[in-house]
Copies of this chain bind each other. A is one copy, B any other.
């Protein structure tokens, strides 16, 4: 049966581009959802097999809505991450000269990321803020506005002429997406995995967060990302979203998770999944350019954990040699 994936729409955004980069998406049915909550709701209701939603952007930061919606409600599981370069283009109905552009449709985040380019190349144009990159492309295609800042896939889908490429001020801006499915066993470890958690801490800030970081550090777990989000109840209470290097199936990560479970008010496991190669990087294979996985500190490798477990077994059985 054809699998059905939803993604944060509308069509023509970076989320669609990210989803199309996945091998499993090739023969699946792909459908846009109007919002992250609706995309995830489709998975929770069993109407979609998975949802592709944005997690964070290297310039704009965390997608708070995604984090909140994954952590609240019935459990979901991240099974994949995808990182793509955010390559904004300026598109228009026809290939007109830049100095004829008077109005540019853009999502506020996109406009902010391209502010320097707009000042240098379209100093006289007015930026009209719209609600998504996909919508901007549609407005340009319809002629409502002269041009749009949008994703390459949005320009293509709306048959826009690309007047300029790579117009973001940070050339290497990246966006990270997650493929989110129903609860189940995580994909098997690959040796270079990420584990995502939502950690709720109960009381005072310093002590509690120190405890959390210490539980990780003692097991040599590398923290690649930390986001605090208000718990929605009052200012000053937080949930922390953590991304850690490693997989729940290993002894190291298993011990660290148990430690967090004991000291935190609540720990929600959001998934263990293969680390995505960055754009331009190959994952594995010959001639690979992949970053190596983050090495464990001395004494903290999976082998060290296995060796220490064997040592303990000897102590317990009376072999002190």
Contact = CB atoms under 8 A, between A and B. Distances in A.
Contact of A205 (B176, B186, B224, B254): B224
Contacts of A230: 56-61
B222 A206 contact: yes
Interface stretch (A4-12, A140-148, A207-215): A207-215
A75 B214 contact: no
Interface residues on A, range: 35 or more
A75 B319 CA distance: 9
Contacts of A209: 213, 223, 226
Interface in A256-309: 257-259, 261-263, 269, 299-300, 304-305, 308-309
Contacts of A254: 312, 316
A97 interface: no
Interface string A182-197: 0111100000000000
| Residue in A215, A218, A233, A254 whose Cβ sees the most chain B Cβ within 10 Å | A218
B206 A210 contact: no
Contacts of A305: 258, 262
Contact of A65 (B112, B235, B236): B112
A123 interface: no
A214 B205 contact: no
B224 A236 contact: yes
A234 B186 CA distance: 28
A117 interface: no
Interface in A82-104: 83
A129 B129 CA distance: 12
Nearest to A130: B131
A258 B170 CA distance: 33
Interface string A100-114: 000000001000100
A210 B214 contact: yes
Contacts of A304: 262
B235 A206 contact: no
Nearest to A236: B224
Nearest to A294: B204
B232 A269 contact: no
Contacts of A227: 228
22 contacts: A56-B235, A75-B320, A129-B131, A186-B316, A186-B318, A205-B226, A206-B217, A207-B217, A209-B223, A210-B210, A210-B214, A213-B213, A215-B218, A218-B218, A225-B238, A228-B228, A248-B312, A259-B308, A261-B311, A261-B312, A262-B299, A262-B300
Interface of A: 37, 56-61, 64-65, 75, 77, 83, 108, 112, 129, 131, 170, 172, 174, 176, 183-186, 204-207, 209-210, 213-218, 221-230, 232-236, 238, 248-249, 254-255, 257-259, 261-263, 269, 299-300, 304-305, 308-309, 311-312, 315-321
